[in-house]
Amino acid sequence: MDAPASFQKFELRAPSHQNAVEIFDGKWASDLSEVCPGLRAGQTPLFTHDPRPRDAARLLGANGRLDGMRVLELGPLEGAHTYQLEKLGAASILAIEANAEAFLKCLITKEITGLQVAKFMYGDFSQYVANTNEKFDLVFCCGVLYHMLDPLGLIAEMAKITKKCFVWTHYYDSKHYSGPPPEERSDPRYPGVTMYTVKYGNTDFGQFWGGNRPTSVWLDPDVIISAFHRAGFRKIEIIDKSPDHPNGACFSFAASDL
């Protein structure tokens, strides 16, 4: 059987970072030209312009830095935020990614940017969080909570391994939700909580960056904040709330138990 048109086993051109990027041609989100001028990849400026890692450092680090901190990053996508976390002084970063293509793109990013303290691992981070005995100074939870089948369970498990968590997530708002109508349901583990089950479309699409299950659960913002409080994060600072985000209402916050 011939290899897919998007993949070739051998490269005949002289070695370059662009060759590596083009293994996943047309499948990148991040604009790598921010850190490697002239490199053609995605269009989203996540390496230097995205404020979320800096927000985490400002509210959960010291003097706007993450110096000496052990960071767990959930779902690094292509390593752009990982790059920022390292530049902000993190002593170590464990970044766990379940999407095979995204994981390999993270390794390409690591080679291009010369990351030194970041370690990428391939697998389901929810399994890691639930079973590890490791403790972290910060969990960076950006763009993943709304991709979980059990987001409330993840929140409870995160509280066992850290006292500081940065979160950016979409939330359910019927007035600002443009996707297929979600299914409302409840879960006996979480009495009184309404959950909104969202079905993914074509997960084979080259730019699918969702979760590793056919569906995910979205929650009301108040439910999310209450879950962090119940888990033991006593201090919640809302950083930004954007109900009109084109992909659905979203907000970011810093949660801590200090």
* Model confidence band, residue 14 (pLDDT cutoffs 50, 70, 90): very high
* Model confidence band, residue 207 (pLDDT cutoffs 50, 70, 90): low
Arch. (CATH architecture) of 17-256:
3-Layer(aba) Sandwich (3.40)
Render pLDDT for 103-126 as a digit per residue (tens, 0 to 9): 999 999 999 999 999 999 999 999
Across residues 119-135, what is the average pLDDT?
98
DSSP string, 74-124: E--TTSHHHHHHHHTT-SEEEEEE--HHHHHHHHHHHHHHT-SSEEEEES-
Tell me what pLDDT residue 6 has: 56
Residue at 251: amino acid letter: F
Beta bridge partners of 164: 256
Contact 49, 34 (CB under 8 A): yes
Q: What are the extents of the domains in the chain? A: 17-256
Render pLDDT for 21-53 as a digit per residue (tens, 0 to 9): 999 999 999 999 999 999 999 999 999 999 999
Render pLDDT for 137-170 as a digit per residue (tens, 0 to 9): 999 999 999 999 999 999 999 999 999 999 999 9
